[in-house]
Every structure is written in structure tokens, then in C-alpha cells.
A and B are shown apart, each in its own frame.
Chain A
Amino acid sequence: MITALKFLLLTVLVGAALTLNLCLGEVSASPADIWAALAGGPLAGNGSGLSEIVWQIRLPRLVTALLVGVGLSVSGFVLQSLSRNQLADPYLTGVSSGAGLAVAVAIVAGADFQAVPLAAFAGGLTASFVVALMARSPFGLSVTRLLLSGVALTAICSGFITLLLINSANLTRSQSVFFWLAGGIGGSTWNEAATAAAYTLAGVAFVLLLSKPLRLLSLGTSAAASLGLEVARTQWLLLFAAVLMCGACVSVSGLVGFVGLIAPHIARRTFGGDERALIVASALVGGLLVLMSDLAARTLGQGQELPLGTLLSLLGGPFFLWLVVRQKAEAL
């Protein structure tokens, strides 16, 4: 009953965040005007002001923000359950660093701007594949080793990125690498929204389907196996889903850190219930965090957008600290 109320509250918050994101911006409008523009359909305004802004700028951006939050959070939730480690974060798997390096190489080499998401995706997937290979063990996947390898790979890739930036003769290109690394979803079109939607929604559905095996795995591989789970196969499937979601998110948003770490935490600490509830709660909390951070990113700066990743840290960080401190009585 209390859980249902919490979910209701969370849904209302997400709804409010969606509305705010639609209404606020360089051109602010009342919810009624926005609703009229929405109800009119994408072609109603014939390219006129508000309809164009809502349908071609704010809506795709808002959908992207929501889905990036959802994807990274559920990815984080899966990795934390698999590794039984509360510090696990999608970016620790090496996905972000691999994507970052691939993007840096592509941009510095002067690749077409359209190719950046593709490079990010390929780089992220390659990195996570390398890391996962290192994590193989006779008893299935050693997720601790996976995270350690991910951290090492992240350090290596960061080194290469720095070298690239220092040695690049083209200042403009170096700067766009920097912007990409800072993370942001400004200028998202329906293309980005569709990519994020396809991978994130498929990933979340898949993880929900595997939520019971995920609970068994959170007992440890030995206990899970003794309860009849094919441990290695299940671990690989869940890891694949986590990496795919994270890779897709990184490819549309650049490096948006932190949300994959804190959203699952907030969900676990404020919501009870089984893994299904926690997955949905993580998704909603993550979506809410990114929506609010993106709203701040595009409205707080004077004429220039602030980096989304930075705002996310500034917004989520204190809240996260407060949660940790409040719960310190329990064994952490």
C-alpha cells in the first residue's frame, strides 16, 4: 500500500518534470498552449513557432533525456545486483571509456559528425566485450573481476584520449571532443530519441523478464546454481542487456555519469518490494534525475547550455550524500 503510494508520487513527479521540460526554455509557454500544440499534431503549425519548438526540439529532447535516465539506471541496477556491489556503475564496465576513445579518434580524424554516435556505440561495445572476456571464470562470470578490468581499461582509454587531445593540431576538433565527453543531449532529434527508445525499452523489458533469475544471482553464484539456475548463461544475458542499454545511452548523450550509480541506490532505499518493483523504480528515478538535470542545463545558463553531466552531479550528489548519511546506522 505504501509502496503503491510511493510509486504514485514518483509517477506524478516524472509527469511534472515532463511538463516543465515542455513548458520552460528560451520560449516559455503555458501548459495549455503546449497542450494545444501537442494536440494539433506535428504538422498542424506548418512550421510555425510553438508547434515546431514542441514537436521538433523539446519533445525529442525530453524523450531522449527520459530514456537515457531509464537506460543508465536499469543498467546500473543490473550491474549492482550481478556484482553484489553497491558501487557498480555502468561506466565502470569500460563502456564509457571505450566509447570515449572511439569518439575522440573519430572526431580528431575529422570524421563526419553523423558518425559520432556510431563510433561511440562500436567503441563501447568493443570495450565491454574485452572486459567481459577478462572476467570469465570457471564458475561463470566474475563480476568483481569485470569491474576491476573495467576500471583498468578506463584508465588506459583516458590516457589515450588525453594523448590524442594534446597532439591534435586542430583546436576545434579537440574542443568538440571535450564537449562530447562532458555529456549532453542538446540538439537531440527524433533520430537520437528513436535509438535510445529502441535499445532502452527492449533492455528494460528483457531485464524485467529476467528479474527472478536476477534475484537468485543476488544471493551469489553458488546459491543461485544450487537453486537450479544456469548461472553463466544468465549472467551473460543480463550483462549483455546492461551493456547494450548503456552503450546506446552513451552514443546519444555522451558521458552522463553518476545517474547509473545513484538512481538504483535511491530506488533500493526508498522502495520495498521485489526486483520487478526495484527495476521500475530505478527506471523512474533515473528518468526523473536526467529530466530535471537537463531542464537545469538548458535554462540556468545565460544563453549557453551547461553540461548535463556536471549538473547531474551537482543535483544528485548532495541528495545521494544525504541518503548515505541518513542510513549510516545500518551496516553499509
Chain B
Amino acid sequence: MSEGNRSEPERTLAARALSVGWAGRALCEGLELSFAPGTIWAIAGPNGVGKSTLLRTLARQLRPLAGQVTLAGQDIFELPARRFAQQVAYLPQAAEDVHALTVLETVMLGRSPRQAWWSWSASERDRECVAEALGRTDTLALKDKYLAGLSGGERQRVLIAAALAQETDFILLDEPTAHLDFRHQLELSDLLRELARKGPGVVVVLHDLNLISRTADQVALLHKDEDGLTRLAARGSPAEVFSQENLRRVYAVEVSISVDQASGLTLYAPTRAFS
């Protein structure tokens, strides 16, 4: 069994002095982050700061250049892929190509980390989990349709259902709202909130400040310093992190911040970009 570091709270996904990058070239340096179940974390920052690269590293898809990512105190790259997949689900950025599987088959694949690697048969528990995931993402009616025939919003919900069926402590999502219209963005935001309430920690890369502030409990705002390396600019609740000063420094834009009386939501409107 895992011999976690005693000082580490259980069921925590954490980045320790983490440097990430491609082909030996560092993109982000010295990141300290810690994610717990039941909480939604957004990773935000301008294009090119390495949000997706960071998420890929947290998802055990890319080895860190320095530092480590730990799950319950254990280095994730020392865990077998299968064990890791039983605890962390990862949705890559929406892939363009669609494959020839039905919704039910796709969601059932989420169970594979808990099935024998060669097995095609589903246990009672597998079927329960899949049914529950389909229900919670409102995709039950689509179950016999092919993924290729779905709209962008439907497909995203199905992929989230597959991640849910994986029954993990954490779900990592890379820009799940890309290519979605307003309505579907809001629905996805509600879905993520509902998911986190029921247990798993959600770490999501998002661009839209308004969407982040209505979805996330916590934000990690990334910023590229003068030396070309990305560091953590701020972290905390969206209201704390998205201050005019922080946004000016990180995005080089002037942002007007207001509170909508009807909904109580904080609204962010970029008004001017600095040259």
C-alpha cells in the first residue's frame, strides 16, 4: 500500500516546487499548489503561460522538469498508470476527431481502470456507475447515439460522464468550454459545481474570468515574468485574485469590475489593452 508522507493530508493532489515544460525547456517554474476533493480550482492566465502544460503534468502525461506532483504524498510518476487513473481523471482539450463509439461505450471506457486490462465484460458496479454518470450529466437519453453525431455541448457532457464513471478523487479538465456557446458554458459551469459538491476535486483550465468567478472556489493565476518563465501570480478566491491590479499586471488590460444586482455575480469587462 502507499506509504504517504505523514504530514500530507490524505487525498490531496499537490505540486511541489514544480517546473514544467517541453523538451527540456522550462515554461513554468517553482509552482506550489495543493488541490483537495470537493473544491473547484481554476487555472487561469494569458495564452502561452503554460496552463495546459501544467495540467498535463498534473495528469501524469508529461514528466516535470523539476520538483514533483504528489497524490496523497506519493510521487505520481512512481504510481502505476492504472492506480493513478483510479484516482485522477483527465479530459484533454477537445480533440477534433471523433471516433466510432456510442455514448454508452464511451462512458463505459471510464470504467477500464477498474476492470481487468483484457476484459470486455462489465460488472454490476460498472453498470451502476455508468448509469449514475449518465444521469448526472443528463446524457441518458443519448446513450445509444454515436459520439460523432452529437453537438459540441453534448459531447463535452458525455466526456465528463466518462470521467465521472471513473470514480476518481480528482477530475482535471482542459478548457471544457472551448467552442461552446453561452448557454452551454453556463450549463457546464453548473455541472462542474454540482460534481464538486458530491466529492471529487475539480481542476479546470478556463479563460473567461466571468465563468471562473461563477464556477470556481479557488483560482491559480499564472503570469509570465520578464525572464520568460511562468510563476504563480496569485491564488485564492476569484474575488481576491481578480483584482484590477492583478489583472493589469498579468493580462496587461484595464478591467472594469462590477456587481450585477439581479444575480449577485461579479462581472469583469476588459475595457482597454495596454500597449
Contacts and interface: CB of A to CB of B under 8 A. Distances in A.
A228 B86 contact: yes
A26 B60 CA distance: 64
Contacts of A216: 109, 112
B92 interface: yes
Contacts of A87: none
Interface stretch (B31-39, B93-101, B190-198): B93-101
A212 B119 contact: yes
Contact of B117 (A213, A225, A268, A276): A213
A324 B145 CA distance: 23
B113 A274 contact: no
A228 B112 contact: yes
Nearest to A268: B100
Nearest to A213: B117
Contacts of B118: 209-213
Given A84-B97, A226-B61, A228-B81, A215 B109 contact: yes
B90 A226 contact: yes
Given A222-B61, A268-B100, A227 B119 contact: no
A222 B82 CA distance: 14
B77 interface: no
A274 B106 CA distance: 12
A226 B59 contact: yes
B148 interface: yes
Contact of A227 (B80, B95, B109): B109
A218 B119 contact: no
A274 B120 contact: yes
A268 to B, nearest CB: 7
Contacts of B81: 225, 228-231
Contacts of A223: 92, 95
Contacts of A226: 59, 61, 85, 89-92
Contacts of A268: 100
A220 interface: yes
User: Which residue, of A139, A213, A220, A223, has the highest number of chain B Cβ atoms within 10 A?
Assistant: A223
B262 to A, nearest CB: 40
Interface residues on A, range: 20 to 34
B120 A212 contact: yes
A264 B80 CA distance: 33
Contacts of B109: 215-216, 219, 227
Contacts of A212: 112, 117-120
Given A211-B120, A213-B117, A226-B92, A218 B85 contact: no
Identify whether the interface residues of B are mostly helix, strand, loop, or mixed: loop
Nearest to B84: A228
B267 to A, nearest CB: 34
B201 interface: no
A331 B148 contact: yes
Interface string B203-219: 00000000000000000
Interface string B29-61: 000000000000000000000000000100111
A132 to B, nearest CB: 21
A59 B40 CA distance: 67
B238 interface: no
B110 interface: yes
User: Which residue, of A220, A225, A268, A276, has the highest number of chain B Cβ atoms within 10 A?
Assistant: A225
Nearest to B59: A226
A231 B109 CA distance: 15
Contacts of B112: 212, 216, 227-229
A77 to B, nearest CB: 13
Nearest to A222: B92
A228 B82 CA distance: 4
B113 A228 contact: yes
Contacts of A228: 80-86, 112-113
B99 A219 contact: yes
Interface string B102-127: 00010001101100011110000000
A220 B95 contact: yes
A215 B86 CA distance: 19
B103 to A, nearest CB: 14
Given A209-B118, A212-B117, A212-B120, A227 B92 contact: no
A230 B56 CA distance: 16
Given A226-B89, A229-B81, A276-B120, 11 more contacts: A138-B23, A212-B118, A213-B118, A220-B92, A223-B95, A226-B59, A228-B82, A229-B82, A229-B112, A268-B100, A274-B105
7 contacts: A212-B119, A215-B109, A219-B99, A226-B85, A226-B90, A226-B91, A226-B92
Interface of B: 23, 56, 59-61, 80-86, 89-92, 95, 97, 99-100, 105, 109-110, 112-113, 117-120, 148, 166
For the complex of A and B, list the 10 residue pairs with the smallest distance between their C-beta atoms, beginning with the closest.
A228-B85, A228-B113, A228-B82, A226-B90, A222-B92, A227-B112, A228-B81, A230-B81, A227-B85, A225-B61
Interface of A: 84, 138-139, 209-213, 215-216, 218-220, 222-223, 225-231, 268, 274, 276, 331
